[in-house]
Structure 1
Amino acid sequence: MARRRDVDDIGLVEGELDTNDLEAAGCVVCALDARRPRLPTAPQVQLPALGAHVHWVTALVADAHTLLRENQELRAQYELVSAHNAGLAAHASVLHDRNLAILHRAREGYHAGIIRLEQALLSRERVERDYADLEGRVADFRARADRTEAAETLLRVERDSSAEQYRDLQAQLQAAQDQAADYAAKLARAAAAPPPSSAPLARLFAAQGERDDARAERDDLRVALVAARAALSPVQARADAAEAERDRSKRATEPSTCGIKRVESQQLLDASDTLQSPRGIGLVKPWRPLSSSETLPSLSGIRLVWP
């Protein structure tokens, strides 16, 4: 604190008080313009006379009795409220235990729900992977079905083409057989003719010309038969390849139906065997040999003898 200038000459010792400290010149409180403490003025009290009736004391006694009754009522209410609070506390304890049990069950249900949710997510992932695999398999099956349809279409086309070529070859074979029978009949008639010594030279020359024509026709028939066999071989190979592709596609798309009927292809095979077998042509039995006979080369089982 700041001290007044007129009290600078007062020597103070730390920890001690001086009598001048209580004066106005040395009081710090006075230096701050504070009011000095003073004792209060004694009140004027009038005591009643001995034995006189004091009204305010009677009122105080009545108020005391009233306050006592109110205190008793408040105490009874307090006890009632305390009992009620105890009941509420017990009920709150029960509710707290119930809430703890419900919370425990809720936590268990939450954990169980989390586990089920994780299992459901894992199941969903597995189902999605299985669905993707099934989609891939379906796409593969569709591609195989398309290849099967293409193979069946190619097989039908090859079968129709093979059937047409088979009919053409059958017609050519029938024509060749007819021509061979005609030539065999001509040769038989020529063999049954009289000896050259008694026949005119013109007829002999005509028979020799027919023989030359028969040889030429025989060579043509042999060439035609070889060409027919050569033409049938690639057709049969294409038909076999198409049928094998169809069988592979059928086995891939329909595992339970592995057996496929091959009646028409077997007919084609039988027809090709008939064309390729030398036993399919047997028309004329060999004629009796003569002294001046000339045996012609056999043509698929046909043996022609010229006298």
Structure 2
Amino acid sequence: MRFNPRARLDRGRVSDAGGRGRGGGGAGIPIPGGAKAGGGIGAVVVVILFIVLTQVLGDGGGSTLPDGLDTTRIDGGDSTRYADCETGEDANRDEDCARVAVENSLFDFWSDNLESQSGTTFAPQERLTTFSGAIATGCGQATSQVGPFYCPADRGIYLDTTFFEDVLQGQLGGPAGEFVEPYVLAHEYGHHIQNLTGAMGRVRTQQGPESDAVRLELQADCYAGMWAGAATSTDDRSGQALIEEITEEDMAEAVAAAKSVGDDRIQQRSGGRVDPEGWTHGSAEQRQRWFLTGYREGSMEACDTFSAAQL
């Protein structure tokens, strides 16, 4: 993946909350297959918090918090983390600046495509926040164990960047590579799009191979593929291209990452048997296939997993 050195980056929607202790402990949030924090591969709900699926199912007008969830946000943190991210050249040499560039590309892609393809008015996510250890969000307290996630209650994307090496690679056997994080961010942005369109409000069944939860996750993978297929056509605010090249190797990394976070793969690596009735995100094969569907078809209609007869 190569960014256009002349592109100008917008840091306005990206911030860092710093470290607030290592979180963790306790029972954690169960992953598909029943493993919990401190046992097996830990509490890895990779792309959307389990509490979001079970408690914070909003509609296109925004989500309503259940009673008792913490609505505070952590402010401050490392205000200098993204301070030097000004151009695409910065993104080419610094992974933090690359994160800003990917967010800018996702913003441009969906601002150009959401309303024309769905009739839904686009609004960006409120914030992409990196953190270390634990963070308070509109969906409650979260730790690095849950992986990257989107919170519909505050329309924020949250990312502990140690996840990729410590969990995705170290525990799940997923790939390394510079396009793995963009795939994950694009998936999370897909959840934001689902929040805007009201797709999150369609989730009624939360486990099982044909469940609404699985359909939600596979659609977010498909939306990630849509962005990947068009990323080189996205621009900065002045009309300069943001991304010059996405290679076949980049795409292979994204597909490998999708495979590694399939429910069946997670169940196998946690030492359990493959039990489709416990699935919340879809199998490795499904996640790869729907990502590639979005990449090849490039339309929200093709990503309508809720109407698909077969997932």
**TM-score relative to the length of structure 2:** 0.20
Higher relative contact order (CA 8 A, sep 6+): 2
More helix by share: 1
Rg: which structure is higher? 1
**TM-score relative to the length of structure 1:** 0.21
